[in-house]
Amino acid sequence: MISATADPPMYALRVGHLWNGTTLIDDAVVVVEGDRIVKVGAGKRDVPKGAQVVDLRRYTGLPGLIDLHTHITYYWDRKPGTRPRGQRRRPAVTVFLAQENARRTLETGVTTIRDLGSANEMDFAMRDLVAMGAMIGPRMFVAGQGISARAGATPNPDAMRQAAEDRIKAGADWVKVYGSLGSFESVETTQTITFEEMKAIVDAAHAQGHKVAIHSYGPSGVKDAVRAGADSVEHGIDLDDETLQEMVRRGTVWVPTIDHNRYYIDAKDEFAFRPETIEPLREYIQRNLDATRRAVQAGVRIGMGSDAVYTMFGQNTRELGWLVKAGMTPPQALASATTIPAELLGIQDRLGRIAPGYVADLVAVEGRPLERIEDLFDGVRWVMKDGAVVVDKRRHEQP
Ligand SMILES: [Zn+2]
């Protein structure tokens, strides 16, 4: 008689070099049952009988990566004569089309994202579809529409508290706040949300067990966001030593998103940015990098966030090159995309590492990303998420 509940298939992933989130294991064997890792060993003797062997011996294995800042529903169909911004279509159509962004993201080795801003609750729909298994993509933690205010508007902490509560009620995992101007080709640093308003939002969200990410291009907004208790702060330049120390003391995660301005410069023709916007973008990158260097030295917890929109999907991990430029070793940079974001998202007991009991998310990379982080950017050959293979670009050798 056939059992009604057949055991899930057991995989033994044989990995050349496995970085499990902290250490490197040569000739590793990762045993996967269903969506979980059940054992991590080394050498042929650790391959269980009856397991289906996946040969990743020419690759370096990493935990599934986490991108802390995306806008995955910003989708452009590249139709000639159109620009990424301003294409109009029904939200459900965009959700469907944004599967391409999701696929490109998985191809970079990113299996989890925190999506920080989407209109019409499109991110809620995408998160739910991925969680149901109806759409292939990274698992998503989402914020819905970010909370913002006009520059110079009369501060209203009560309205801000209400806005945070409304987002959570609607289904947001995180609350996103635009604490300053600055986006796309604009590097305008003007603060738009006051300390009192930020505090009202943070307190309201924390009271319900939700976390808050505050966007600020300028230093005053970052300072206020940190003091108000933001769980993460996005972007930023010219951070003073006091703010860096306060981040260390509170454990605030800083997501500098240096690479997104590199992308805007590279994609300037697609967006039709005016030529005079390019030099300020370059200058912002430099100051963003300088601040990150100082934050690394101060011991601030730094997270990888691409701030990917439109055609930047597929470049999600290039931020790690900047983090290495800022003084991190490649393993420290990889921690910014694994263990640190897992803690920030509250999933450190199941993601960000390769260990027994953890969710089976694993990336196989050709090259030596632990020595040369750039190898990660186009070296991803195979990705498993929740125990299922979602990317397979292995080069199969001739027999
Ligand atoms: Zn963003």
Looking up tokens 């690479």 gives 259
Number of domains forming the structure of the chain: 2
Q: What is the reported pLDDT for 241?
A: 98
Residue 254 Cα to ligand 1 midpoint, Å, equals 13
Residues 15, 94 within the same domain: no
Residue 310 Cα to ligand 1 midpoint, Å, equals 12
The upper half-sphere exposure of residue 327, i.e. CA atoms within 13 Å in the direction of its Cβ, equals 13
Residue 264 Cα to ligand 1 midpoint, Å, equals 13
Residue stretches of the chain with pLDDT short of 50: 1, 398-399
Residues 72, 33 within the same domain: no
User: How far is residue 390's CA from residue 365's CA, in Å, rounded to a whole number?
Assistant: 14
Domain that holds residue 387: 10-63+352-392
Q: In terms of Cα–Cα distance, which of 316, 303, 281 is closest to 352?
A: 303
Residues 261, 324 within the same domain: yes
Residues 211, 327 within the same domain: yes
Residues 92, 193 within the same domain: yes
Residue 388 Cα to ligand 1 midpoint, Å, equals 29
Query: Is 1 a domain residue?
Result: no
Residue 71 Cα to ligand 1 midpoint, Å, equals 6
What are the pLDDT digits (tens) for 44-77?
999 999 999 999 999 999 999 999 999 999 999 9
What are the pLDDT digits (tens) for 115-148?
999 999 999 999 999 999 999 999 999 999 999 9
Residues 148, 297 within the same domain: yes
Residue 391 Cα to ligand 1 midpoint, Å, equals 26
User: How far is residue 282's CA from residue 209's CA, in Å, rounded to a whole number?
Assistant: 38
CATH number of the domain encompassing residue 322: 3.20.20.140
Residues 27, 79 within the same domain: no
Q: What is the reported pLDDT for 398?
A: 47
| pTM score | 0.97
Query: Is 278 a domain residue?
Result: yes
Give per-residue burial for 363-383: e unless 16+ CB within 10 Å, then b: bbbbbebbeebebbbebbbbb
User: How far is residue 129's CA from residue 136's CA, in Å, rounded to a whole number?
Assistant: 8
User: How far is residue 274's CA from residue 254's CA, in Å, rounded to a whole number?
Assistant: 30
Question: DSSP E strands: which ranges in 249-397?
Answer: 253-255, 301-302, 362-365, 380-385, 388-392
Q: In terms of Cα–Cα distance, which of 160, 166, 146, 147 is closest to 70?
A: 146
Residues 234, 217 within the same domain: yes
Residue 38 Cα to ligand 1 midpoint, Å, equals 36
Residue 355 Cα to ligand 1 midpoint, Å, equals 32
Residues 155, 178 within the same domain: yes
Residue 7 Cα to ligand 1 midpoint, Å, equals 42
Helices 241-250 and 219-228, axial angle in degrees (round to 10): 30
Residues 47, 70 within the same domain: no
Residue 307 Cα to ligand 1 midpoint, Å, equals 5
Q: In terms of Cα–Cα distance, which of 387, 378, 331, 388 is closest to 35?
A: 387
Residue 309 Cα to ligand 1 midpoint, Å, equals 8
Looking up tokens 């609607």 gives 170
Residue 28 Cα to ligand 1 midpoint, Å, equals 37
Q: How far is CA 45 from CA 23, 29, 38, 40, 62, in A?
A: 21, 9, 16, 12, 22
Residue 137 Cα to ligand 1 midpoint, Å, equals 19
Q: What is the reported pLDDT for 399?
A: 45
